[in-house]
Amino acid sequence: VFCAYPGFTRLRLHTRNDTTVAFVEFRDVRQATLVMNALQGCRISSSHRGGIRIEYARNRMGDITGQW
C-alpha cells in the first residue's frame, strides 16, 4: 500500500498480542503528509479491525544501514 506512493523509503512491522503496528518512513514530511491524508481510514482486506489509523511518529526510526 505505502510503497506505491512517491518518497517511500522503508517499512517496519512489529507484532505483539495479535496486533500489528507498521512504521513507515518517507523522504520528507510533505510526502508523508500526502500519504497520511490519502490513506487515513483505508480498509485493508486482510484486517477485520476496521480502517487503518495513521499518525506521525514520536521519534525517527533509527538508521539500520549496515545492520544486515
pLDDT, residue 63, reads 63
User: 43-59 pLDDT, tens per residue?
Assistant: 988 878 888 899 988 88
pLDDT, residue 66, reads 46
Take residue 12 and report the three cell numbers written for it: 517496519
User: What dihedral do alpha carbons 39, 43, 46, 47 form, nearest 10°?
Assistant: 110
